Amino acid sequence: MIVKPSGTSNNAYFVIPEDADDLFTLRRIVEKDDYIIADTTRVIKQVKEYGRPDKGERVKVRVSIRVEQSELDAAVDRLRITGVITETDNELVTKGTHHSLSVQAGDMVTIDKGRRWQDVELKMLKRSGSSASFILVAIDTQEAAVARVSGTHVKVIPNIYSGQSGKRYQTKNNPNIETYFADVAKTVSSTIGENDKVIIFGPGETRRRFFNTLVGKQEIPKDRVQVVDSVDVAGEDGIFVFLRSPAMKEAMSASKLASVSALLDRVMLMVNRGEAKFAMGMQEVSQAAGMKAIESEVFSDSIFNTAGEEEVVKMLNSIESYGAKTYAVDSSTDIGLRVSSLGGIVALLRYAVR
């Protein structure tokens, strides 16, 4: 999530959510009576003197609303914020009327609490805005896949094919391999963010040849590109093999995904050893949270199948208020599916509570 202080108020922050994890962070931060400023659309109906109002015209407008309710939709890919319009830049939009904002990844909003932000709120906001992102490239001479890992969310771009026959020597009908490399490099350049790092892997020496193309022609600094040798699978399958490999934890040690993977590995080790310093499922984690026993926890969107959204938000905020770490994952990764199979929420404990 992109986070910047707003110049309009000391109590306001300008934010751009980048994935589902960021949207849930906003859901935990936005409260009743906060003010949200955002661009939206609204239907304006012209009332005629001796006739019915027309169907109206949908116009773009910037509004400030005083929040009454916020909730995630069933797919957890947008945040719906409902409230009363307090300010508008269009005189045809009436103040004091209700409006609903739909916030998705990439939308720009300003949050003004009208008061000093609490430490736990700033901690959640700034932590979400400082996570490292990575561009993964799984490539061989025949196919390549590019994926962006932001937080714990993975977005895979469809495979790019070279058209090569698979023979070890160049034939007349084989396309130029350099053209293929250039296409993949352009995809990486169009995906990479200002501070993102690139990780290249795949079988043979193709990964190193592509490294030279990426650094040479696309002018990406060498210190932002890394070649990994231990994953010999290309294409989309290679992306998910890498995300399950030990190489991921080493190459992406600064990422949320690596932190969550390490947390789950510790829990599984405790299960095998018969230790009790962990909790699984809403009931166990809620009990441990009430005793302030949680060191860190991870949850998936499947938790909403067993508990209400407001209940989950209240529990997670209480966990962070005493210094524990929380991570959200979704079904875009194998890790998200693992958490869902363990009751939707898993926690490491400071001490055993049972």
Contact 227, 197 (CB under 8 A): no
CATH no. of 2-128? 2.30.30.870
Query: How far, rounded to the nearest angstrom, does the alpha carbon of residue 261 sit from its chain's CA centroid?
Result: 16
Q: Domain segments of the chain: what residues? A: 2-128, 133-251, 256-349
Q: How far apart are CA 118 and CA 29, in angstroms?
A: 10
Contact 154, 147 (CB under 8 A): yes
Would you give the DSSP letter of residue 222? G
> How would you classify the pairing of strands 225-227 and 197-201?
parallel
The fold of the 256-349 domain, in CATH, is 60s Ribosomal Protein L30; Chain: A; (3.30.1330)
What pTM value is reported for the model?
0.75
Q: Does residue 177 have a pLDDT over 90?
A: no
Was domain 133-251 assigned CATH 3.40.50.300? no
The tokens for 267 are 């829990």
CA atoms within 13 A on the CB side of 64: 14
Fold agreement between 2-128 and 133-251 = no
Contact 332, 239 (CB under 8 A): no
258-263 own/partner pairs: CB under 8 Å, 24+ apart: 259/325, 259/327, 260/152, 260/298, 260/327, 260/329, 260/335, 260/339, 261/335, 263/296, 263/298, 263/327, 263/346, 263/348
* Amino acid identity, position 43: V
| pLDDT tens readout for residues 24-49 | 888 889 999 999 999 888 777 665 55
Residues ≥6 apart with Cβ < 8 Å to 132: 195, 196, 197, 252, 254, 255
The tokens for 110 are 């300003």
Sheet holding 12-16, edge to edge: 2-5, 12-16, 109-112, 35-44, 57-72, 78-88, 98-104
| pLDDT tens readout for residues 210-241 | 998 888 876 688 888 999 988 899 999 999 99
* Amino acid identity, position 176: N
Q: How far apart are CA 216 and CA 337, in angstroms?
A: 39
| pLDDT tens readout for residues 148-164 | 988 778 889 888 998 87
| pLDDT at site 59 | 80
Q: What is the DSSP string of 310-345?
A: HHHHHHHHHHHHTT-EEEEE-TTSHHHHHHHHTTSE
| pLDDT at site 175 | 59
| pLDDT at site 65 | 94
